[in-house]
Structure 1
Amino acid sequence: MDAIYGIGAYTALEASRMVGMSQATLRRWLLGYQHDSKDEPALWQPQYEPGDDGVLLGFRDLVEARIVNALRERRIGLTTIRRCIERARAIVGDERPFSTQQFRTDGKTIFLEITRNIDEPEFIDLRKSQGVFKRVVEPSLQDLEFGPSGAERWWLLHGKKTVVADPARSFGQPILADHGISTARIVEVVAGEGSVEKAAKVYEIKPRLIRDALAYEASLGAQKAA
């Protein structure tokens, strides 16, 4: 599969690390799976067609996975999540409804509508406690920027605009926003040079940016460990 400029391109491993979930689970969501002798289809159609060489995700797939993962972390069942996606898809009119501007703007109203007749205990508890959207979904939309076609940018360190995933730059790989250097490359250079200060001199940038890149890469390891 060839990556397409402006869509972003992530292997299942890269995407799972960024979202903070298992690669195997992400593959099941994107490719479907068999459960109790029943074929379960994919939760949504990926931006790239799956090929013989594996699955490739676009940036909006990444955002969808982030929100679905947040719901799963609250022990909400996949059957319920599938119903939510289907209803949201019908309301929003987009295959990937969670990563649209409309969902970000009207998500609270949409979730009230799509969960009204869902009697799963976890949903009932969340409805009684400030709502599903506010407690679970809204935090997953933080640090995202949206355009007319959906999510366009993810600031990867909360509250900072130094490290970004932008599908229009470096195929969406995490980079320093002002310099375009990948965070993974910065880790390699710091290791090779022996210090943050020396790495900063190599790139002629401020040491704090090097530290932000290292902090983001360290967070990937922390998510995996959790």
Structure 2
Amino acid sequence: MASAAFGVGAYTPSEAAKLLRMQPATLRRWLYGYDFDHGDGPREMPPLWEPQYGCDDDGPLLGFRDLVEARIVNGLRRSRIGLPTIRLCIDRAKEILGDHPFSTKAFKTDGRRIFLDITQGVEEPRLIDLKDRQHVFRAFVLPTLSGFEFGDAAVERWWLIPSRKTIVIDPERSFGQPIVADIGLLTSRVVQDVKAEGSVERVARLYETSGRAIRDALEFEAGELADAT
């Protein structure tokens, strides 16, 4: 990851997709566009938004704010909103909030009104009625903001277990890889250390942290945290 920048975070599509619980190929299509056959010839579908990193010799990388945007887009897709509608919503939101609009503090603080504004008049059947739009925001968009900690302008970190704040993704620490918050240890390293030491308790004593934090790291790496997304 020679292109990784401090404070931006750096994730391969596979790493980001694992965090978001989605397919890497889908994420690549959102971030880098794709070609398709429309019947009358090939067409090109542009990216949904401009990623924080370009695609260089090291391959494509996502930044932390790309991760946040993708999490919210994934929530909209789970609500069966079509990509053309999502693309329109992103473009409208960018006019109000700038690039990476869903990861701004303004979207967090005034998200409901902004969402209703950017979906007004769209042809998507689920979003034509005001009640349906309100339902989509409450049921699919609002939960995707859970765990995000905002600074003055934008999301600064993502607590993967908001109720305990043991595991965090922070672009200013370990290039945004998941870590045990109080000691900065990569959750992937926790798995190795527990195997080597033979128990959670021994690793907790070794790093002077709680057994709960070590167990949370193990559960996260195993994909067993229900509230990680």
Deviations 1:100-122 (A, max 9, x none): 00111111111111111113123
Q: Is the 8 A contact 2:78 2:140 kept in 1?
A: no
User: Which residue of structure 2 lines up, in the alignment, with residue 83 of structure 1?
Assistant: 88
1:203 to 181, 204, 207: 207
Deviates most, 123-132 or 54-63: 123-132
Q: In 2, Cα distance between the equivalents of 1:124 and 1:139?
A: 22
Deviations 1:19-46 (A, max 9, x none): 1111011111111011322211000111
Deviates most, 196-205 or 164-173: 196-205
Q: How does 1:116-135 map to 2 (within 5 A)?
A: 116-124=120-128, 127-128=131-132, 130-135=134-139
What's the Cα RMSD here?
1.9
User: Which residue of structure 2 lines up, in the alignment, with residue 176 of structure 1?
Assistant: 180
Deviates most, 212-221 or 142-151: 212-221
The one-letter code matched in structure 2 to 1:12 is P
The one-letter code matched in structure 2 to 1:58 is G
Overall identity of the aligned pairs, in %: 55
Q: In 1, Cα distance between the equivalents of 2:129 and 2:189?
A: 44
Q: CA 1:97–1:84 in structure 2 vs 1: closer, same or farther (change >3 Å)?
A: same
* Greater relative CO (CA pairs within 8 A, separation 6+): 1
User: Which residue of structure 1 lines up, in the alignment, with residue 155 of structure 2?
Assistant: 151
Q: In 1, Cα distance between the equivalents of 2:130 and 2:78?
A: 13
Q: How does 1:10-89 map to 2 (within 5 A)?
A: 10-35=11-36, 36=38, 37-89=42-94
User: Which residue of structure 2 lines up, in the alignment, with residue 101 of structure 1?
Assistant: 105
Shift of 1:220: 6.6
Q: Is the 8 A contact 1:46 1:61 kept in 2?
A: yes
The one-letter code matched in structure 1 to 2:151 is G
Matched, 1:115 2:119: yes
Q: Is the 8 A contact 1:126 1:135 kept in 2?
A: no
Deviations 1:175-212 (A, max 9, x none): 11110001110011112222212222332322111111
TM-score under structure 2 normalisation? 0.90
Deviations 1:63-100 (A, max 9, x none): 000000111111111001000000011011x1110000
Q: Is the 8 A contact 1:176 1:182 kept in 2?
A: yes
Q: In 1, Cα distance between the equivalents of 2:181 and 2:76?
A: 29
